[in-house]
């Protein structure tokens, strides 16, 4: 990998861009998340190659949070260092996000949803990434003990201060979302986007959240679309030593029961019949819904990244395929 990076001139030719709700902002159908594989513990050159390759293929949207690593904060530092080396000329072509909500530092001001925490955390994130503003700043989770008005006023303040261009919320229930949208609208900083877990095997957001967002012209981005790697061919023949299930405690090996893997194998067969990998079918299944603005994938290699981007060649499903997927999933 050379030190002088020049982005591919063809980078906007094949990626699809979707409007984020009723805003002016377009997001790529596939975005890149830096929760795993971009910390100090990971191989820097591999992380750098993934970011370059993503950008070369039209992925403009990079999703971070204060606590990504490990250690917490290191993904933002690694990303900042890649930005400085390769992307100073391209900042205006990038959508960079961060979030605050989960445990980040000691004491009463290092987590949840107070104005104190959100503002201080964003200042730290900007410093770690070496940038003046993020494009989207999220409240990472609803705080039951802070008035929602305070959390939303902090987002409004952050946008007005120029440290973020847009405000977002993540992991809020439909009811919490309805209240948050109403407060933000009154403040004059409409919510751009909601980010939640959504995959073929976790359909919680179909509980009304997608409708609330659609009715209010707010975008939706899906995280963990591959259920952290479960909805791929990664675990069909055991647990590879370099996989998330063997490295990180967020995906426990005991979750990967023989029964689950047997059903994943059936999904894999269906994907192959469609001429796709299972990772592609799982991503396509999300993108077939017009309410899904973007799907944020995590990858540990350029090979996985390329596999996922190829999803865009086929995002439609026949009625029979839809029914087959549902019957396999509900058999899990
Ligand atoms: N807002 C929130 O609360 C929240 C929470 C979680 C995540 N997120 C965001 O969403 C992003 C994505 O989440 P995630 O990492 O859980 O997503 P994911 O896409 O469901 O899982 C990513 C993992 O799947 C495996 N994988 C990816 N592509 C593959 C392919 N083509 N073939 C085989 N295996 C493949 C890799 O596992 P190996 O590492 O084992 O190779 C990769 O690390 C995060 O980075 C973060 O930005 C947000």
Where are the chain's structural domains? 17-230+289-312
From 29, 195, 223, 311, the mutation candidate for ligand 1 (largest count of ligand atoms within 8 A of CB) is 223
What is the rounded end-to-end Cα distance, in angstroms, of the chain?
Answer: 43
pLDDT of residue 248: 79
C-beta separation of 124 from 66 below 8 A: yes
With a cut of 70, list the residues of the chain below it in pLDDT. none
C-beta separation of 300 from 242 below 8 A: yes
Atom of ligand 1 nearest to the CA of 250: 16
Cβ of 180 less than 6 Å from ligand 1: no
**288 token code pair:** 């077939």
Cα–Cα distance measured from residue 213 to residue 190, given in angstroms and rounded to the nearest whole number: 12
CATH of domain 17-230+289-312: 3.20.20.100
Cβ of 239 less than 6 Å from ligand 1: no
pTM of the shown model: 0.98
Q: What is the pLDDT of residues 189-207, one digit of tens each?
A: 999 999 999 999 999 999 9
Atom of ligand 1 nearest to the CA of 251: 16
pLDDT of residue 210: 98
pLDDT of residue 330: 86
C-beta separation of 192 from 225 below 8 A: no
pLDDT of residue 1: 77
Cα 287–17–210 angle (5° rounding)? 40
Q: What is the pLDDT of residues 258-274, one digit of tens each?
A: 999 999 999 999 999 99
Picking from 155, 236, 219, 228, the residue whose alpha carbon sits closest to that of residue 188 is 155
């Amino acid at each position: 990998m050379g030190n002088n990076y020049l982005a591919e001139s063809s980078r906007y030719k094949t990626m699809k861009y979707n409007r984020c709700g009723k805003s002016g902002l377009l997001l790529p159908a596939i975005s890149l998340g830096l929760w795993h594989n971009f910390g100090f513990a990971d191989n820097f050159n591999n992380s750098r190659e993934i970011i370059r390759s993503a950008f070369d293929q039209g992925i403009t949207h990079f999703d971070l949070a204060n606590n990504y690593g490990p250690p917490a904060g290191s993904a933002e530092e690694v990303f900042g260092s890649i930005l400085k080396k390769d992307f100073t000329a391209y900042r205006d072509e990038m959508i960079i996000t961060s979030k605050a909500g989960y445990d980040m530092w000691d004491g009463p001001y290092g987590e949840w949803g107070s104005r104190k925490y959100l503002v201080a955390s964003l200042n730290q994130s900007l410093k770690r990434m070496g940038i003046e503003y993020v494009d989207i700043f999220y409240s990472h989770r609803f705080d039951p003990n802070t008035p929602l008005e305070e959390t939303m006023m902090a987002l409004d303040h952050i946008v007005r201060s120029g440290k973020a261009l847009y405000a977002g919320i993540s992991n809020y229930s439909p009811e919490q979302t309805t209240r948050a949208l109403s407060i933000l609208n009154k403040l004059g900083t409409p919510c751009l986007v909601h980010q939640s877990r959504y995959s073929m095997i976790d359909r919680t957001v179909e509980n009304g959240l997608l409708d609330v967002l659609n009715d209010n012209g707010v975008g939706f981005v899906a995280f963990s679309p591959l259920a952290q790697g479960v909805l791929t061919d990664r675990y069909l023949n055991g647990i590879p030593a370099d996989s998330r299930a063997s490295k990180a405690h967020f995906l426990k090996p005991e979750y990967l029961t023989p029964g689950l893997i047997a059903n994943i194998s059936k999904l894999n067969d269906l994907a192959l019949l469609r001429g796709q990998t299972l990772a592609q079918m799982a991503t396509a299944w999300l993108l077939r819904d017009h309410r899904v603005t973007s799907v944020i994938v995590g990858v540990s290699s350029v090979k996985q990244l390329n596999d996922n981007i190829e999803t865009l060649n086929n995002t439609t499903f026949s009625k029979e395929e839809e029914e087959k997927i549902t019957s396999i999933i509900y058999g899990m």
